[in-house]
A and B are shown apart, each in its own frame.
Chain A
Amino acid sequence: MSTTPSAQITLVLERVACGEGAAAAELLPLVYEELRRLAQGQLRGQSPGHTLQATALVHEAYLKMVAHTESGWQSRAHFLAVAATAMRQILMNHARDKRADKRGGGRVRVTLAEGQAAHDIPDFDPLELDDVLTRLAGLDRVQSRVVELRFFSGMSVEEIAHVMDVSPATVKREWRAARAWLNAELNR
């Protein structure tokens, strides 16, 4: 019976799409809350090997939270961009909690899935990824943001290009470089 904040969010997205970027700030908490709720449903009391479908959650949240009659793909892209930030926080908080209570040892099996390609990352430590991403942000904000959007919201090149206001070619190049850099860092 709870009223979904759908209308509110749709309105904010319209404002963001109309260039009122400040409106995006209003989205984060709403999106964060919804994602956290969805994620908790999946994660609560799970064994460490449990799979959390991060991007699936993000898309589910989008479907639940945004009225679809009015919003175009640009709105969706803005939503996903906000959701990526929220999703990352949620995963990291979850991993931290796990680590804190010693049971999970901080390891959660994260399935970063998108449409056609779904791969499990066995025993991947999200905190490690978070550390590396944070370091990358210190070196190159654009790269870290591209990775964030790719990883945690499964956004397409075009969607990222739109929300970051750069060309798709730039996104692809930054992505390739970021990918190599991450690979190198994670395999050190």
Chain B
Amino acid sequence: MMTPAQHQRAKDLFLHACDLPMEQRSAYLETACGSDVPLRDAVERLLRCDSDPGGLERGIALRSYMEGLLDGAAPSQHERGAERVAGYRILDVLGEGGFGTVYRAEQSAPVQRTVALKVLKPGMDSRQIISRFEAERQALAVMDHPGFARVFDAGQTEAGRPYFAMELVPGTSITTYCDERRLDTRARLALFVQVCGIVQHAHQKGLIHRDIKPSNVLVVRVEDRATPKLIDFGIARAIDAGAARGTLLTEAGQLIGTPEYMSPEQADGGHDIDTRSDIYSLGVLLYELLTGTTPLDRPRAPAHEWRRLILEQPPPAPSTRLRALGKRGFDIARSRATEAPSLIRQVRGDLDWIALRAIEPDRERRYESAAALALDVQRFLRHEPVLARPPTVGYRFSRFARRHRAGLAAGVTILTLLVGGTIGTSAGWIRAMQSGAAETRQRERAEAEAATARAIAAFLNDDLLAAVAPGARGRDVTVRHVLDEAAARIESRFADQPLVEAGVRFTIGNSYLSLGEFGPAEPHTQRAFELRRAVLGADARDTREAQLALARLRSEQGRLDDAEQLLSNLIERRPIAAGSGPPGADAALHFLATNYQRQGRVDEAVQALREVIAEHSRVDGPDHERTLTARSNLVSVLQGADRHEELRPELIATLELQVRTIGAEHPNTLFTQSKLALLHYQLQQYGESEAAFDDVLEKMRRVYGPEHPYTLYVMGDLCLVYRATNRLDAAATAREDILAGLTKSNGATHPETLLAHQHLADVYYAQERLAEAEAAYRAVLAGNQAAFGETHEYAFASQLRLARTLTRMQRFEEAQALILPMVESARRTREERLGEYLVAYAAALSTGGDAPRAREILNEAVELPAATPRARRYQTDARAALAALPE
């Protein structure tokens, strides 16, 4: 086991050796380590691990992760020395394929540029592989499309291995690119269309890629546009090459290609492959862009089983796959800048059809070309019916509705909004029926409810959707338009169906509300509430729901009083039975509390929050997240209002809860406890404060360690208690420990350390240890000046303290010389602290015997504007000093 000193020594030697060329390193270590064998071993191990390409897999993964983080990391000697190619300087390894290694290299002639250099791996020089390698170069050379890396040059390395130099594509794989930028589905599809174009070009040039997958489709930014490039034609093959010309199996019987992306016919051994095999791979790529997974996730089956798997398990539609992902779908949706349910909605339907058609196991049923696939995706993007799907009336309509989504203010579709609203309304209606009703009555109600739902649906379909029938308007139909049309038709439509009208209006009102259109929302939300109250009664769930919506609207409109009235009314009529309260009563109360807080009505906010806490504790339990949220809201209201007395029981309760739920030594618990200790101090309960600090500090020393900054900061708070109880010796000892600890962890010149040093100096000053105080202040002053500048507030703060100390030491002239420039600077900048400086300056003058000048200065201080509490305090100090001056 190494000691820290040995570790440092090894580290220094390692870093020094890193800067040396490989060949000089061992001589250097020889000299530097001498006979210290363990040291030398340690350094050599570090050097090996600096960029060791071998080692365990996770080590590599960790390294590559860290490599990615280290900006501008120099490539190691090891990698650089791996290959020599005349005319090129190899910089580092970009990637490794089956037969070749791709290096980043610098070409000096004919032009200077950075290129990708693909070199055949050692041991891969069978005739078959060499001819394949050559085929790739030729294939690329004939491409005339920006979607391919251009080939510049080819030849043999100094070791005799074939290589070719091609355009360096500094891109990331298409899936990574999309995820990192959180591209939404449409942006992904637009990229995918470009990829199809590239593949189409290759096909036209007579080439099948045979290994299309995300890592072979790189995206680069060209003139700020995302441009995909298809790389690695290592196993590409000419379309007209005879079927007999080699299979896709290596000699070891391994399948070439990547199983997940491989068409069934390719998995079968690849004797009969045409361009439609690439269509299949494109389909898998599309699938992955949409869902983050491949149709058959992570195959475990051996290669020869693969075809059977594909044929026997038809892949789920992308939207079905998304639904099956459960929680994982959350991340996937997030990287597509959306939520899981909405991603499923986007993908369901057309995109399902398109992807499934591209990955049809029977190639006869796939798209006939990459261009055809691209066209269908483009149709989807233009909201036109896609070919992959047989058209029906409903389908055409849904395309129409989506076609008009472009103009929407909020990203909500009318259909989900309205239909979702209908369903919610109907379900709510059922629940509104009192429990315990006879079965028959329940059935009658269920039938009535179904009739209502049908009526609402009929209205939404016939009227609302008729309003946006094709041709009725231009392409700029928005949700706003649709809502306006619907709103205009409600009047007089529902003379005998108040609940249907209420349902429709509630939905329309909420839709306006979510668009931020408060004015148009008002009549509907209001009317929905009134209708429901009239028919269902004030206590029915649906009525209350509408009332809460109306309160929300009022609050949004800034009509806080009206909102309050509605909310209070809701709360007063809260159902009595435990647990039967409709969701909404607590929400109303919590909402009300926020409402109060906005109005600055602290008492009422506190009271409302206490009720919410009580309610949630009863219903959900005291440890429930909702209870804790209300609790933390209460604490912040109390803190904001400086209500220390009330804060105390709250903190105590929170602390008890935390001890019980997350444990006494959890950081949160410790934080609450230290806050409570500080609160005791603020309430001048010094005994309790100190006991609480001692307790929390004992735990922090154990949890964080005695010299951890957090422990030290809380110790600093404890010193406040020492000062308040006039125990300066204890304060000095503690402050010395704090300073030592912070110096160790942060260094002596760190701002935190400087502040701790200044606190210590303050204690020395209070103890009349003036020489020590002087030395400390001088050190802090120098540090602050260096860190912040000579006229910075912090520098001035230490300078002022130093001057006070000097005044106290009877060194008036020195003190005056320190303060005068501060006074002058503050006069120029009208700095608020001028008053403070003037008072200190006057003190140095008067104790130095110059009372008249001190009087002048103090008069100036008294005359200063006293707009802030701080300025008023300086003014008071100045008056007191003036009164104390000798006549």
By a beta-carbon cutoff of 8 Å, the part of chain A in contact with chain B is 1-3, 5, 8, 18-22, 24-26, 28-30, 32-33, 41-42, 44-46, 50-51, 53, 86, 89, 112, 114-124, 138-141, 143, 150, 154, 156-157, 165, 172-173, 175-177, 179-184, 186-187
Contact = CB atoms under 8 A, between A and B. Distances in A.
Q: Which of A20, A114, A141, A176 has the most CB of B within 10 A?
A: A176
Contacts, number: 174
Contacts of B745: 141
Contacts of B69: 114, 117, 150, 154, 175
A45 B49 contact: no
A2 to B, nearest CB: 4
Contact of B58 (A86, A122, A157, A181): A122
Contacts of A51: 331
A154 B776 CA distance: 37
Interface residues of B, number: 75
A116 B180 contact: yes
Given A5-B632, A21-B750, A143-B11, 8 more contacts: A22-B752, A25-B710, A117-B69, A118-B179, A123-B58, A124-B61, A179-B70, A183-B62
Interface stretch (B2-10, B197-205, B644-652, B875-883): B2-10
Interface string B94-118: 0000000000000000000000000
A115 to B, nearest CB: 7
9 tightest Cβ-Cβ pairs between the two chains A and B: A21-B752, A117-B68, A29-B671, A19-B751, A183-B49, A139-B7, A25-B713, A22-B713, A184-B49
A140 B7 contact: yes
A123 B633 CA distance: 40
B419 interface: no
A49 to B, nearest CB: 9
Interface string B68-100: 111101000000000000000000000000000
Contact of A1 (B55, B587, B753): B587
B671 A26 contact: yes
Given A32-B668, A179-B66, A180-B47, A186 B11 contact: no
Nearest to B749: A165
Contact of A176 (B18, B327, B632): B18
B636 A8 contact: yes
Contacts of B73: 176
Contact of B4 (A112, A118, A140): A140
A112 B73 CA distance: 18
Contacts of A117: 65, 67-69
B632 A2 contact: yes
B65 A21 contact: no
Contact of A114 (B15, B55, B68, B742): B68
B308 to A, nearest CB: 26
22 contacts: A19-B754, A21-B752, A25-B709, A25-B713, A25-B714, A30-B671, A32-B667, A32-B668, A42-B330, A50-B328, A89-B667, A117-B69, A118-B68, A119-B64, A139-B2, A165-B747, A165-B749, A176-B15, A182-B66, A183-B52, A187-B49, A187-B55
Q: Which of A3, A24, A124, A182 has the most CB of B within 10 A?
A: A3
B70 A3 contact: no
Interface in B98-149: none
B58 A124 contact: yes
Interface in B637-688: 667-668, 670-672, 674
Q: Which of B11, B180, B597, B714 has the most CB of A within 10 A?
A: B11
Interface in B596-640: 597, 629, 632-633, 636
Interface string B400-417: 000000000000000000
B59 interface: yes
Contacts of B749: 165
B647 to A, nearest CB: 14
Interface string B520-545: 00000000000000000000000000
Interface of B: 2-4, 7-8, 11, 14-15, 18, 45-50, 52, 55-59, 61-71, 73, 172, 176, 179-180, 327-328, 330-331, 587, 590-591, 594, 597, 629, 632-633, 636, 667-668, 670-672, 674, 709-710, 713-714, 716, 742, 745-747, 749-755, 787-788, 794
Given A28-B667, A140-B7, A187-B56, A165 B66 contact: no
Contacts of B63: 179, 183
A176 B70 contact: yes
B61 A121 contact: yes
A23 to B, nearest CB: 8
Contacts of B48: 184
Contacts of A5: 632, 636
Given A25-B713, A124-B62, A180 B788 contact: no
A2 B628 CA distance: 10
A139 B14 CA distance: 15
Nearest to A20: B755
Nearest to B46: A180
A29 B633 CA distance: 16
A186 B632 contact: no
Contacts of A53: 331
B636 A3 contact: yes
A9 B633 CA distance: 15
Contact of B55 (A20, A32, A181, A183): A183
Q: Which of B46, B48, B714 has the most CB of A within 10 A?
A: B46
A31 B671 CA distance: 12
Given A116-B180, A122-B58, A139 B66 contact: no
A22 B750 contact: no
Given A116-B68, A118-B180, A119-B68, A19 B752 contact: yes
A98 to B, nearest CB: 15
Contacts of B710: 25, 28
B71 A156 contact: yes
Q: Which of B176, B591, B667, B747 has the most CB of A within 10 A?
A: B667
Nearest to A138: B4
A27 to B, nearest CB: 10
Q: Which of B64, B331, B716 has the most CB of A within 10 A?
A: B331
Contacts of B180: 115-116, 118
Contacts of B68: 114, 116-119
Nearest to A26: B671
A124 B65 CA distance: 12
A7 B553 CA distance: 26
